[in-house]
Amino acid sequence: MRLDGFVAHYDLVIIGTGSGNSLLDPRFADKRVALVERGVFGGTCLNVGCIPTKMFVHAADLAAVPGHSARLGVDTTLDGVRWTDVRDRIFGRIDPIAAGGQQYRVQHPDNANVTVYAGNARFTGERTLEITPNDGSPAETITGDQVVLAAGGRAVVPEVEGIHEVDFHTSDTIMRIDELPRRLVILGSGFVAAEFAHVFSAFGVEVTVIARSGALLRAEDRDVSQRFTELAQQRWDVRLDRKALRVERHDGGIRLHLEGPGGAETADGDLLLVATGRTPNSDQLDVAAAGIAVAPSGHVVVDEFQRTSAEGVWALGDISSPFELKHVANHEARIVQHNLLHPQDLRAADHRFVPHAVFSSPQIAAVGITEQEAERRGIRWVAATQTFGGIAYGWAMEDETGFAKIIADPDTARILGAHIIGPQAPTLLQPIIQAMSFGLDAREMARGQYWIHPGMPEVVENALLNLF
Ligand SMILES: Cc1cc2nc3c(=O)[nH]c(=O)nc-3n(C[C@H](O)[C@H](O)[C@H](O)COP(=O)(O)OP(=O)(O)OC[C@H]3O[C@@H](n4cnc5c(N)ncnc54)[C@H](O)[C@@H]3O)c2cc1C
Ligand SMILES: NC(=O)c1ccc[n+]([C@@H]2O[C@H](COP(=O)([O-])OP(=O)(O)OC[C@H]3O[C@@H](n4cnc5c(N)ncnc54)[C@H](O)[C@@H]3O)[C@@H](O)[C@H]2O)c1
């Protein structure tokens, strides 16, 4: 039993068990640590993000095979998609990992120094947090010499009239539904929209995508975004330049009222997926009460060492990073880990060449600047493009839509950016990330090594050769 007014003090308090959980290793064994998690242990990527989505994408890629194999002379048919089997296989593998991770921290002797709080943390003062346990027991106050904010973000729900009166989904819930809908309306046209549109359409669902702007994935290089939009229009009902005005229940599902170039219109679906971005959880943590500065976007402000504006408070991952990507959260976790252990030898995070990939169909991967950005920032550049169809493996596949574009500095030949749309795009991008990170220039990269023939990386080799 805790006495009234009891405050538990720790050397280190970590809020969030996504990337936050990976901070702890045997080097922290002599420290008293509190680990606070209000939701499912393991955070977004494991439970509702990268991992399950890519497991669905893999299944969707298999379901999509009959759509493109016949023109190569291989007739296949899709006999069916056992949605609940797909779903249960995925979460039957993921849920035990989350449960096992929690059990390890709570019960294993390795973690004798760690106290796990299953509850919501909120700052009430400098490095002072009130924890409201999930089980309804009384709130507790804890303090820490060091505090790490790894509390991530959450899906944003836009202010569309009636949205809270219908049963809409976000990426948190759509993967656990009990049956496939006949029709799915997706509001938004970014990462989540592109990946789920592919998954559900490959599984036979009629998908409508509602975009505010004139293209899908418009943060990508303009040619990539345009190509993706053209291809999407062949598979899905894509509505561009639409404003969502109102949503209502209709015919057992939903009806979205839109305003577009052609005036008023509606989009009907059995389910609505809201995919309009994410916001950091800094507000719910009440970081202002601890004197922690926040940017207008809601991201906690950090310096190059991942320190916040408050003494002894660090932040990493989606709560402070506008990239909102797991590899960035992982990198920042390693930096915070080092800096906690070596306060006299702080390391800076490296955000120079942060890549991303969209696991839709086709796949997209990019790193560095776009031509549009180079123009905006007054950077001199040269760009070259290579189609997949123009190299042996892509030609063999009869790929007619994929390409790789590489942007370089005309004087130094340093690579400034790369944008790939087509099969295996994330894998093909990796050597370019490596070249940028280690300062290998485009000429050297193209000519100073062998490229396996006829391997798909020849698309990168030829884009590089086309540059100079
Ligand atoms: C559908 C989807 C697909 C994605 N796919 C990819 C991908 O393919 N590749 C990629 O790089 N990134 C992907 N991401 C992004 C990636 O998941 C995130 O960047 C990453 O998980 C962020 O990690 P984090 O540790 O910062 O936060 P999280 O993993 O979100 O962890 C934060 C934890 O803090 C807890 N928490 C929050 N507030 C409190 C509080 N007040 N008290 C106690 N606990 C709290 C939360 O419950 C959560 O468990 C995807 C995201 C989504 C939504
Ligand atoms: N493969 C990956 O790495 C991956 C996959 C999924 C998600 N994620 C991460 O999760 C984050 C969230 O993904 P997301 O797709 O929700 O966000 P996003 O920022 O990629 O896209 C949001 C979309 O919603 C639109 N939008 C915003 N407000 C709107 C409104 N009021 N009405 C209509 N449309 C509106 C935007 O124009 C944009 O198209 C991303 O930032 C990404 O970093 C990454």
Mutation test of ligand 2: which of 276, 327, 360 has the most ligand atoms closer than 8 Å to its C-beta? Answer: 276
> In this structure, what is the dihedral angle of CA atoms 51, 203, 191, 37, given to the nearest 10 degrees?
-40
Q: Is 7-155+279-341's fold the same as 362-465's?
A: no
H or E segment and range at residue 14:
strand 7-15
Average pLDDT over residues 22-32: 98
Mutation test of ligand 2: which of 45, 159, 168, 192 has the most ligand atoms closer than 8 Å to its C-beta? Answer: 192
User: How many angstroms separate the alpha carbon of residue 42 from the centre of ligand 1?
Assistant: 9
Please report the atom of ligand 1 found closest to the CA of residue 319: 26
Q: What are the sequence ranges of the domains in the chain?
A: 7-155+279-341, 163-276, 362-465
CATH superfamily of 362-465: FAD/NAD-linked reductase, C-terminal dimerisation domain (3.30.390.30)
Residue 428 and residue 457 in contact, taking contact as beta carbons nearer than 8 Å: yes
Among protein residues, the one with the nearest Cα to ligand 2's atom 16 is 277
CATH superfamily of 7-155+279-341: FAD/NAD(P)-binding domain (3.50.50.60)
What is the model's pLDDT at position 2? Answer: 53
**Is residue 453 annotated as part of the catalytic site, yes or no?**
yes
**Three-state SS annotation for 276-324:** CCEEECCCCCCHHHHCCCECCCCCECCCCCCECCCCCEEECHHHCCCCC
Give the global pTM. 0.98
Least distant ligand from the CA of 172: 1
Among protein residues, the one with the nearest Cα to ligand 1's atom 48 is 43
Token pair in block for residue 361: 């169909």
Please report the atom of ligand 2 found closest to the CA of residue 326: 3
Q: How confident is the model at residue 5 (pLDDT cuts 50, 70, 90)?
A: confident
pLDDT at 431 over 80: yes
In angstroms, the CA 48 to CA 37 distance is 15
What is the model's pLDDT at position 1? Answer: 46
User: How many angstroms separate the alpha carbon of residue 274 from the centre of ligand 2?
Assistant: 9
Fold of 163-276: FAD/NAD(P)-binding domain (3.50.50)
What is the model's pLDDT at position 34? Answer: 98
The closest of 331, 335, 330, 334 to 347, measured between CA atoms, is 335
Among protein residues, the one with the nearest Cα to ligand 2's atom 34 is 188
Which value does ipTM take for this structure?
0.98
Least distant ligand from the CA of 120: 1
In angstroms, the CA 196 to CA 274 distance is 11
Q: What is the mean pLDDT of the chain?
A: 97
DSSP string, 140-192: EEEEEEEEEE---EEE-----BTGGGS--B-TTTGGG-SS--SEEEEE--SHH
What is the model's pLDDT at position 32? Answer: 98
Mutation test of ligand 2: which of 54, 238, 278 has the most ligand atoms closer than 8 Å to its C-beta? Answer: 278
Please report the atom of ligand 2 found closest to the CA of residue 194: 15
User: How many angstroms separate the alpha carbon of residue 437 from the centre of ligand 2?
Assistant: 27
What is the model's pLDDT at position 446? Answer: 98
